[in-house]
């Protein structure tokens, strides 16, 4: 299997989650009420799965190795754009967390939450399509079979560490709060 295989499966799960955003935003817009639990779950999914686990493999492994290859100027431009889009997604998530926290303090940020969830649901599929249809396949041409196998192993090792990293972080946060 090519290393882009797991990345493309991950894209399918991200798309599925984004479709759930649509139903939720309709509910929030109508009721002018935010379900903080939904927002927390959405933030956790995007941060842990889409950003840390998925963008992590793209940036820390695939893009790192691609940067050593003689990419065309167009491919270099797309790769830079993809990295910028990852940054934009992180910033939008930060704004969503902020809007949810202000909501919990009593401010009516329901329309802000709707706009941010809609922005993510609109932006991500375009990013994914760029990778799936215009970037991943031609990029694989730069790697030998051996290099692709090595990359796939590195992906698996990266994924293996994620669950430990996530819960390690959670325990450290709880520990820091209980000391305060």
Q: Mask 37-76, x = binds Fe ion (CB under 5 A)?
A: ---------------------x------------------
Burial status of residue 52 (CB atoms within 10 A of its CB: 0-12, 13-18, 19 or more): middle
Say how many C-beta atoms besides its own lie within 10 A of residue 134's C-beta.
Answer: 13
Of 89 and 99, which CB lies nearer to Fe ion in the complex structure? 89
Site string for Fe ion, 69-108 (x = CB under 5 A): ----------------------------------------
Site string for Fe ion, 120-159 (x = CB under 5 A): -----------x----------------------------
Question: Which of 25, 63, 85, 46 shows the shortest CA–CA distance to 155?
Answer: 63
Cβ proximity of 110 and 34 under 8 Å: yes
Identify the burial level of 63 via C-beta atoms within 10 angstroms of its C-beta, where 0-12 means exposed, 13-18 middle and 19 or more buried. middle
Here the tokens at position 86 are 């990852």
Task: Rank residues 112 and 131 by Cβ distance to Fe ion and give the closer one.
Answer: 131
Provide the minimum distance between the beta carbon of 110 and Fe ion in the complex, in angstroms, as a whole number. 29
> Shortest gap between Cβ of 176 and Fe ion (angstroms)?
31
Q: How far apart are CB 71 and Fe ion at their closest, in Å? A: 16
Q: Which is nearer to Fe ion, 2 or 102 (CB)?
A: 2
Contact 63, 3 (CB under 8 A): no
The Cα 17–Cα 176 span in angstroms is: 31
Q: How far is the CB of 147 from Fe ion (least distance, A)?
A: 20
Query: Half-sphere exposure of residue 163, counting CA atoms within 13 Å on the CB side?
Result: 3
Comparison of 82 and 116: residue with beta carbon closer to Fe ion? 82
Least distance in angstroms from the C-beta of 156 to Fe ion:
17
Task: Report the chain's terminal Cα–Cα distance, integer Å.
Answer: 49
* Total site size for Fe ion, rule CB under 5 A: 2
Residues binding Fe ion (CB under 5 A): 58, 131
């Amino acid at each position: 299997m090519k290393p882009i295989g797991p990345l493309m499966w991950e894209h399918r799960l991200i798309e599925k989650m984004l479709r759930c955003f649509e139903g939720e935003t309709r509910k929030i817009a109508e009721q002018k009420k935010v379900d903080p639990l939904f927002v927390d779950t959405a933030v956790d999914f995007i941060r842990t799965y889409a950003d840390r686990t998925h963008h992590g493999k793209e940036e820390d492994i695939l893009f790192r190795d691609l940067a050593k290859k003689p990419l065309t100027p167009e491919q270099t431009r797309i790769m830079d754009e993809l990295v910028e889009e990852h940054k934009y997604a992180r910033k939008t998530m930060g704004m969503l967390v902020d809007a949810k926290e202000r909501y919990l303090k009593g401010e009516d940020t329901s329309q802000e939450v709707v706009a941010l969830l809609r922005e993510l649901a609109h932006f991500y599929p375009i990013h994914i399509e760029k990778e799936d249809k215009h970037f991943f396949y031609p990029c694989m041409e730069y790697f030998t079979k051996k290099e692709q196998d090595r990359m796939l192993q590195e992906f698996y090792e990266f994924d293996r560490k994620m669950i430990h990293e996530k819960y390690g972080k959670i325990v450290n946060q709880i520990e820091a709060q209980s000391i305060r």
